[in-house]
Amino acid sequence: MELIEGLYTRRSVRQFTGQPVERELLLEIIKAGTWAPSGLNNQPWRFAIVQDAAVRANLAKLTKYHFVIEGAPACIAVFIDKSLMYHDTKDHQAMGACIQNMLLAAHALGLGAVWLGEILKNAEAVRALLGLPEQMELMAVVALGHPAGKSHTSTRKDLADVLLKEL
Please select the residue that binds a second copy; options are 46, 112, 144, 145, rule is CB under 8 A.
46
Classify residue 155 as left (phi > 0), alpha (psi -120 to 50) or beta.
Answer: beta
Stretch that binds a second copy, among 7-15, 62-70, 143-151 (CB under 8 A): 7-15
First to last CA, the chain: 35
* Contact (CB, 8 A) for 142 and 99: yes
Cβ closer to a second copy: 12 or 148?
12
| CA separation for the pair 130, 67 (Å, rounded) | 19
Cβ closer to a second copy: 133 or 149?
133
Footprint of a second copy on 140-159 (CB under 8 A):
140, 154-157, 159
Q: What 3-state class would DSSP assign to 79?
A: strand
Footprint of a second copy on 79-138 (CB under 8 A):
79, 87-90, 92-101, 103-105, 107-109, 115, 117, 120, 130-132, 136
